[in-house]
Amino acid sequence: MFSKKRKDISSLHVPHNKNTAGCTPVAMACPKEVLLPMNMHYGAAAIPVVEVGDHVRVGQLIAREDETSISSPVHATISGTVVEIGPLALPNGKETTAIRIESDGKMELDPNVQPPKYPENLDEFLELCRLSGVVGLGGAAFPVWKKLDAARTAEIDTILVNGAECEPYITSDHRMMLDHSDLVADGMYMMKQFIGCKKCVICIESNKADAIALLREKFAGDDSMEVRELNTVYPQGAKQVLLYNVTGKVTMQGQRMANLGVLIINVSSLAKVAYYIRTGMPLVDRIVTVDGSAVAEPKNLIVPIGTRVSALLEEVGTKAEPGKVLIGGPMLGRAVGTLEDPIVKATSAILAMNKKDAKLSEPSACIHCGRCVAVCPMGVDPTTINKATLQEEADPKTRYEILIKAGTRQCIECACCSYVCPAHRPLMEVNKQGYAFARGYEKAQKGGVKA
């Protein structure tokens, strides 16, 4: 279908550290409570439909989506009593509403959880995607129903199922492909049936040979289903990188992939949609990789969403005092504000690093080696962006023009530049500041306000 000889636009080789690739996910002990934020997805926060004192069961709707915007519902992930509905401080300094449920230890299922009628058309399929509460489980958390809604207005030729999982340590998608290949296959056939695409391509890095072999066997004889083996390079799983490396297509600034006839969906998201259509159980749990140099027994755990990070670390044990705990991988993850932060829908991993590994090197002056420019998969010039961003006294118009020309809009925040910088400069973080300035400048110009 597509040329396999084209050179990848990404070539950064990072340590795999896939220590849990052979660890079959195990269900963790029922947590004492869960804390469910209403903003576990891109878009407007969900709106609670329960009150303090209500008894809820697993799979029960506890917050509906905001119908005025992109949103996604939230469901109870344990059975028990709603003990609090109130503000939750977020690591970025903002707040959201969260529902806290105290467990009754029974994990009783909501009697309304029943297999839905199998969809007959795109509208019915998208409605089930919406009801499932499934979002992008690879990290973006974009509601699946909204992503696939693009098929209403664009002719989709190809679905790319993202099983690359290029971040070090994380193996949750890998295990989904190995342990639930039937759900992955169901989801891909649903994509073909309801989206109307000619081809479904599941994209997997070469370091997951067992998953590649299993899925190739499952789709043997069906030319509409392709298992594409990708080079193991970072950030292979980034949507713009995956799009080019598989199809040769490029999205320009502000252009939707759907307009190119392509949609990309994370493999675990796809499997969870298929599971909802098969069973009626919405998104209430997920596979979470728990690893890192401070972890005693790295595992893949099946975790009720809303479980606190501390409960996961208790489950695996620690062999050293963590110096830093990350939600997500070492390249794109963020440090938790507190170990009482909850697991949310898009949490694929918890990494606990010992104090030695958590210590950051002190940045020094840029030596203009050009490594950051050479490694950027999007052709961004981090050195120029870094300089323009930090020159706050410069003329705003000139500063803005330099930032745009250097590609601040194109940055996908993969952190390749920061990773290779011999001066240990926080290039990605500074670029985010530069992009924020550029957006603020544009907004000021439209509003006739001085920047």
Q: What is the dihedral of CA 431, 432, 434, 440, to 10 degrees?
A: 160
Q: Which whole-number Å values give the CA distances from 217 to 178, 221, 232, in the listed order?
A: 12, 9, 21
Domain residue limits at 197: 122-279
The answer to whether residue 259 sits within a structural domain is: yes
2 pLDDT tier (thresholds 50, 70, 90): very low
The answer to whether residue 312 sits within a structural domain is: no
Do residues 130 and 275 both lie within one domain?
Answer: yes
11 pLDDT tier (thresholds 50, 70, 90): confident
Other CB atoms within 10 Å distance of the CB of residue 102:
14
Residue 292 dihedral angles phi and psi, to the nearest 5°: 125, 165
For 150-196, the pLDDT digits (tens) are 999 999 999 999 999 999 999 999 999 999 999 999 999 999 999 99
Domain boundary among 279, 305, 328: 279
Do residues 245 and 139 both lie within one domain?
Answer: yes
The answer to whether residue 274 sits within a structural domain is: yes
Domain boundary among 279, 295, 314: 279
Domain boundary among 279, 303, 328: 279
d(CA 334, CA 343): 13
Are residues 304 and 285 in contact, defined by beta-carbon separation less than 8 angstroms? yes
The answer to whether residue 241 sits within a structural domain is: yes
Other CB atoms within 10 Å distance of the CB of residue 117:
9
Do residues 128 and 269 both lie within one domain?
Answer: yes
Percent of the chain with pLDDT over 70: 97
29 class by beta-carbon count within 10 Å (0-12 exposed, 13-18 middle, 19+ buried): exposed
Do residues 271 and 380 both lie within one domain?
Answer: no
The structure tokens 């401070």 sit at 294
d(CA 115, CA 378): 43
Residue 346 dihedral angles phi and psi, to the nearest 5°: -90, 10
What pLDDT shows up at residue 7? 67
Are residues 44 and 71 in contact, defined by beta-carbon separation less than 8 angstroms? yes
What is the number of domains present in the chain? Answer: 2
The answer to whether residue 265 sits within a structural domain is: yes
Q: What stretches of 50-180 show up as alpha helix (H) in DSSP?
A: 122-132, 144-148, 172-179
The answer to whether residue 426 sits within a structural domain is: yes
Do residues 263 and 388 both lie within one domain?
Answer: no
What pLDDT shows up at residue 6? 57
- In this structure, the chain runs to a length of 451
Are residues 263 and 150 in contact, defined by beta-carbon separation less than 8 angstroms? yes
d(CA 155, CA 83): 47
Helices (H) and strands (E) in the chain, counts: 14, 17
The answer to whether residue 396 sits within a structural domain is: yes
For 104-161, the pLDDT digits (tens) are 999 999 999 999 999 999 999 999 999 999 999 998 899 999 999 999 999 999 999 9
Do residues 136 and 258 both lie within one domain?
Answer: yes
Structure tokens at 205: 């890095």
Do residues 140 and 242 both lie within one domain?
Answer: yes
The answer to whether residue 380 sits within a structural domain is: yes
For 210-227, the pLDDT digits (tens) are 999 999 999 999 999 999
Do residues 236 and 375 both lie within one domain?
Answer: no
Q: What is the dihedral of CA 406, 412, 416, 422, to 10 degrees?
A: 40
The average confidence (pLDDT) of the chain is 94
Q: Full-prediction pTM beyond 0.75? A: yes
For 55-92, the pLDDT digits (tens) are 999 999 999 999 999 999 999 999 999 999 999 988 77
**CATH code of the domain in which 158 resides:** 3.40.50.11540
